[in-house]
Structure 1
């Protein structure tokens, strides 16, 4: 009889545990967040994912002043080119890691903070070293050097085995390329005299492939290779498209589509080449374009003009505190400044990428 009672107690305990797990899953769906074997988010790239590294280097490509960051926690400008959080912050939160990812060069943080997420990104950089030279920012090769130093510190902090496990299970995110075209190829004479647009795309894809192989050689196995947005639809480009009625610049969007296709092919190729790698292509293009074409579906009122200042050409210091005309509610604007999405747009893009692509890393 006593044995029978014990079995009943165990069965009830098991059912209670199952019900608890079911409730946790329901709560996860309700909050829109997910969990899994991703202990850290490690980021490389440009202003789309820079959380303030440029604050600590001699460059004019900065945003550590108002009104940038006015909707960030505490209302403080951090160096993010946004009124609030950037996509990787939302991705980190969705993975139940932390609500924002700190900049590697920010002295407020140390390895205990970076162990669960860090960004080496630098606004105005690109795949091409010539792109980072334009505004003297951190080139991609230097971001890799920072990553190597980070790994050394991580091993000292966690121990060899735990650090290696963190590195192999961490999600490594790459987000760059727009500056290579808009701030370099189509603006500076050097690269356009050396390459056709298609040849320059191939040149950049070659650099991207080399970088992924280098990450792989350093132990990274989960990697997201980011694509380009419809860069011809940025307010800055639309403002200069006077002859085209201030519509999106088609040739820039065509280049973005073509380049994204090559990055997608690179992803397939590297997955075959590198044993054990899980490389995905995160493409923001179509989601971003849908938001721009159907803004009312997402609660936006303005797509061609940004929130900051006149919204036509300002970014960085031109978007400083003294700028007149800045909007009062950035959530009604697809773009925060003439080059960068608003926090609300970043949240929508991140949610789309997590659900359609990055959830792959939570399967097992």
Structure 2
């Protein structure tokens, strides 16, 4: 399973789903790019070590009667929750699913993949995963399918005016690349954090520009969450309940500063495009720091997992210990938030606080 925690992912998913809604031609499309926080089942179709299609994942996902779907949580992702609030009739279909054909794709397509990152080398410990480059390649295929379904002119308007592109990626580039023991030692000797983050931003700029050239105009960019605070990191570093690992959080903050600058740059340089920045880091840190205020009893221990003080080493599966009060845990497994946490994150994002969403709200982006 993906040792990744892209809560930002969640943010993006949300936003992308909020694109549904308007106009005489019905709903727009939600195009979701990212990692395990927004993967809705693509990794089910890959020979990979990162999978969530085993119980008890999905135990609270009503749409599947509690069966696993490939979502890395016990229930709905943030995107699912916000989509429901906006009246979205269908979730974006995973690109690799056999169902991703015909009119089903008009609601949107999900390209996200557990273990995926901005860099192609990220997540190689899982053998297979869809990097951001591959996800953009797959959107290029979808783009041609839209021309066939709607005709070239109508397809272009549908994608430019009515559809939202959410990008939630970057956590794995640190957790399962730069910071990974053994595999990354060579990279860290040859690359400073500054140089590695430069590389990430350069690659992401190129990937977002490719999407723009394929008619993407409305974007949500989620930043990297406090990856030093996930149960996996706390457990392997033998921290106390209220401590977080300093280096991963420091790197995330450094990257996040550059990501915000990139959003500003692209808003200025790509005519007609709007990039909304989702500050997942501060939102999730608020939840972790003040968990009791939000009705949780722990922001350190995984509900489903095994190993160490916080059940943070072995990913969630049939042999994992499982908590009885899932709605009292911020984290479902060693890396990913619970549905209860996702509900709160979705609510805060939907409220449009400029501390978390800028320069406009999700609804304002949708209505442009």
Aligned-partner SS, 2:219: strand
Q: For structure 1, which segment, 143-152 or 107-116, has the greater mean C-alpha deviation from structure 2 after superposition?
A: 107-116
What does 1:74-153 correspond to in 2, within 5 Å?
74-98=65-89, 100-135=91-126, 136-153=128-145
Question: How many pairs align?
Answer: 330
Structure 1: gaps spanning 5 or more residues: 1-31
Q: C-alpha distance in 2, partners of 1:327/1:243?
A: 21
Q: For structure 1, which segment, 127-136 or 236-245, has the greater mean C-alpha deviation from structure 2 after superposition?
A: 236-245
Q: Which structure shows the higher helix fraction?
A: 1
Q: For structure 1, which segment, 227-236 or 246-255, has the greater mean C-alpha deviation from structure 2 after superposition?
A: 246-255
The aligned counterpart of 2:282 is: 286
* Aligned partner (choices 139, 158, 169) of residue 166 of structure 1: 158
The aligned counterpart of 1:359 is: 363
- How large is the RMSD of aligned CA atoms in angstroms? 2.1
Report if the CA contact (8 A) 1:45-1:175 is conserved: yes
Q: Please tell me whether residue 320 in structure 1 is matched to residue 309 in structure 2.
A: no
> Deviation at 1:270?
0.8
* Aligned partner (choices 226, 232, 238) of residue 236 of structure 1: 232
> Deviation at 1:248?
0.7
Q: For structure 1, which segment, 250-259 or 215-224, has the greater mean C-alpha deviation from structure 2 after superposition?
A: 250-259
Q: Please tell me whether residue 68 in structure 1 is matched to residue 57 in structure 2.
A: yes
Structure 2: gaps spanning 5 or more residues: 1-17
Aligned-partner SS, 1:152: helix
Q: Which structure shows the higher strand fraction?
A: 2
Distance 1:328 1:110, change over 3 A: farther
Q: Please tell me whether residue 256 in structure 1 is matched to residue 256 in structure 2.
A: no
The aligned counterpart of 1:14 is: none
Aligned-partner SS, 2:94: coil
Structure of larger gyration radius:
1
> Deviation at 1:36?
4.6
**Higher RCO (CA < 8 A, seq sep 6+):** 2
Q: Please tell me whether residue 50 in structure 1 is matched to residue 49 in structure 2.
A: no
Distance 1:360 1:190, change over 3 A: farther
TM-score, length basis structure 2:
0.84
Distance 1:78 1:275, change over 3 A: same
